[in-house]
Homo-oligomer: A and B are copies of this chain.
Amino acid sequence: MTDAPTACLLIIGDEILSGRTQDANLKFLGERLAAMGIRLKEARVIPDVPDVIVETLNTVRALYTYVFTTGGIGPTHDDITTACVARAFGRKVIRHPEAVKKLVAYYGHVPNDARLKMAETPDGPDVALIENRATAAPGFRIANVFVMAGIPSIARAMFEAIAPLLKGGDPMFSSHVDAEIKEGDIAAELTAIQEKYPHVSIGSYPFAREGRFAVSIVARATDKAAIAAALNEVAAVMTSKGATPTLGD
């Protein structure tokens, strides 16, 4: 477990920080990476400010096995991610010949300069395009950094294109047991169960069900048997307090 690959998601865009747009890429990437055994350790949402993008990228690409970025690779003036990634790596920006070909094929002619910006990547032998079947404008990989679109449907398609290239680790499994009980009524027992199963990460998440207090106890681990054992103990505690637990994945 200790040497599982790690990852960071950089969400680039004023529209997320202003509250205009609800990010949907973190949840998707979190789920997919967990299933692949890659530990998403951090996500940062940063504005469309070149110095911030460059500095943040250089910080996180040194910390994690993989860095995924979303946002800022379109044709307009506010799409500055590619230029910033190139700057972070000390590279020139080039028009990637293969990307130009894809755009020409998509549009049926050589597109205007704005659209040709979508064929730009940093220069270097470690740069490879990420396929985009939706609009042809590709993302790209440079070293351990994967530069993807912000639009969720395109980000997802790009991730699936690169997923086979990522080195995974032991998949992280998770299951949960829910009951209509207040988490404060089982907290002491939960602490004991967590201590008994140190390799299972047990989280307690209260929620409301038809106006009544309920809690979801989530267990995450690479060992399914350990998850089941821990959650069975949680369920027994819930039952002993008069609640009716239900187990789920």
Q: Which residues of A are at the interface with B, using a C-beta cutoff of 8 A?
A: 13-24, 26-32, 34, 40-48, 52, 74-79, 111-115, 117-118, 151, 172, 174, 183-185, 187-188, 190-191, 194, 201-207, 218, 220
Contact = CB atoms under 8 A, between A and B. Distances in A.
Contact of A43 (B24, B44, B113, B184): B44
Tell me how many chains of this kind the complex includes: 2
A78 B220 CA distance: 13
Nearest to A188: B114
A18 B42 contact: no
A203 B18 CA distance: 12
Nearest to A176: B20
Given A42-B46, A44-B44, A202 B77 contact: yes
B47 A184 contact: no
Contact of A183 (B76, B202, B203): B76
Contacts of A115: 184, 187
Contact of A19 (B28, B78, B117, B203): B28
Contact of A111 (B42, B45, B184): B184
Contact of A30 (B16, B174, B183): B16
A182 B24 CA distance: 23
Nearest to A24: B22
Given A44-B42, A45-B42, A15 B205 contact: yes
A114 B42 contact: no
A174 B18 contact: yes
A32 B201 CA distance: 34
A203 B78 contact: yes
A17 B31 contact: no
A184 to B, nearest CB: 4
